[in-house]
Amino acid sequence: MKLKKEGRRDIETISSKMDELRQKQIQEGIFGFDNFTETGSNAFSDMGTDLSSDRRECIIWSINHYLNLNRHPYVIEKSIEATRQFGTGCGTSAISGGMNVLHKKIEDRLSSWYNKGIMLFPTGFTANLGSLAAICQEGDHVLIDSESHASIRDGIKLSPTRRWIQFEHNSLEDIEAKLISSTKECEGKIIVVVESVYSMSGDICPLDKLAELKKKYDFLLFVDEAHSFGIYGEYGKGLSYHMGVLDDVDFLTSTFSKSTASIGGFVACDPKYVSYFQWGSNAFAFQACFSPADAGTILAALDILETEPSHVESLHKKNVYMRKKLIAAGFDLGSSLSPVIPVYISDTEKLLKVCFDLYKNGVFSVPISYPAVGVHEGRIRFIVNANHTHEHIDKTVDLLSKLAADYDLLDDQKQMRENGFIGKIKNTTSTDSISTQFN
């Protein structure tokens, strides 16, 4: 038998321990990874954990379909129409003939939106992974926010660069300090990578301030708009457009899996980079295109974004309504403003129990714990959907308030803030202005 090298992870031991923990959580009823909806993604659905078990009616707070367009009759009809005309799958990658005219129409539509070249990827995850793996080269310095998504981190890890530097979340002071250092030391280019809306906290990035820093320091700006595309700015073009800094953004990425209710992703950039990505991005060259039905869905959703602003207006009003109720109940929502609303719970066991108690009472979301966030930075995300009703929100907040008393959640949140685990700069913006500030 070969001896394991010292320090090498024993994957068999780790896997056994993880499965042992899983089985224990299943027995205690707090394991949430096997939940599924009986009727598909929606603001309300029957939930199950096993095909033979009873179903439970739940308000769903974990789905990223912000505008509920996956249920829009026009979107559904266009998806069916695309399948009838083009079949079910593309069968190969774009460069091997997998693209059809619907994919080209998406590229053209987004190119007119952003006045940039557009590169489609099979998923939003691979849009980040594939573009960053190709952009970042040996000698470059890559500065990323501490809350950066896994797709960003994985893309950088796959690139030739060996110098990526994490800065404090949304801290312009820390970004500038690291820019000063990199300007002196970097032998290649400097790339700053941020998200316009951070998926785990709902915080909004100060893109306008980054654009000012870009005038001072020579760097490329990469912005992931996954959680702002479709819900901010004209037609949902995102926060870069809304803040007037689109021309300062070198690479803008997003997903089609959220506001546009499908799958896939894109990069908007100078057309020369599109040519480079087609040659140098394995995530593009060696993955099959997203299906014709997905493409039909995206085009229909873009039509709705351009013609029916009521969906976005409804979303933002409900975001304000829920935030007001949570703040009135004493919850600390950090510095977030977007429809991603975090309820912080530092203790992992308590976090799991609260999630299970919510589920037992007809409210479903998922625990966010390490390694998705820091060890003591656990939370439940409540992702507001245009299809949520005031009754859904009232029931959820009332139940959370009861559980807050049962588990001393508000005292825990005060301790988390004192220890810096909840944003150090508390949002003081009036909730009345949230709906108008960024739409």
Residues 68-83 pLDDT 10s: 999 999 999 999 999 9
How far is the CA of 137 from the CAs of 82, 89, 216, in angstroms?
A: 39, 34, 23
DSSP type of residue 424:
S
Q: What is the pLDDT of residue 437?
A: 52
Q: Tell me, what's the pLDDT at 435?
A: 47
- 163 and 269 inside one domain: yes
For residues 334 and 279, give the distance between their C-alpha atoms in angstroms, rounded to a whole number. Answer: 42
Tokens of 155: 């893309």
User: At which of 247, 274, 307 does a domain end?
Assistant: 307
Cα–Cα distance between 183 and 214 in angstroms, integer?
Answer: 12
CA–CA gap between residue 280 and residue 293 (Å, rounded): 28
Angstrom distances, CA of residue 231 to CA of 51, 116, 315: 36, 20, 8
Examine the domain organization and report whether 356 and 231 are in the same domain.
no
How far apart (Å, rounded) are the C-alpha atoms in residues 120 and 265? Answer: 6
**Rounded Cα–Cα distance for residues 354 and 345 (Å):** 9
Q: Do 39 and 152 fall into the same domain?
A: no
Judgement on whether residues 281 and 359 belong to the same structural domain of the protein: no
Residues 212, 107, single domain; the answer is yes
Structural domain harbouring 193: 73-307
Same domain, 422 and 334: yes
Same domain, 323 and 433: yes
Q: What is the CATH number of the domain that holds 286?
A: 3.40.640.10
Residues 171 and 79 in one domain: yes
Count CA within 13 A, CB hemisphere, residue 390: 6
The verdict on 31 and 105 lying in the same domain is no
Instruction: Note whether residue 5 is domain-resident.
Output: no
Domain assignment present for residue 44? The answer is yes
| Residue that finishes a domain, picked among 307, 336, 370 | 307
DSSP H helices in 204-250: 207-216, 239-242
* Same domain flag for 127 and 167: yes
| Rg from Cα positions in the chain | 22
Q: Which of 257, 207, 247, 249 is nearest to 227 (CA)?
A: 257
Q: E-assigned strands of 71-214?
A: 117-121, 141-145, 164-167, 190-195
Look at residue 234 in the predicted model and tell me its pLDDT: 96
Q: Are the beta carbons of 249 and 223 closer than 8 angstroms?
A: yes
Q: What pTM was estimated for this model as a whole? A: 0.91
Residue at a domain's end among 283, 307, 331:
307
* 136 belongs to a structural domain: yes
Residue numbers in the chain where pLDDT is lower than 50: 1, 3, 7, 425-436, 438-439
State the total domains in the chain: 2
Interatomic CA distance for residues 335 and 344, integer angstroms: 12
Same domain, 280 and 335: no
CB 413 within 8 A of CB 376: no
- Looking at the fold, whether 301 and 320 belong to one and the same domain comes out as no
Residue type, 379: R
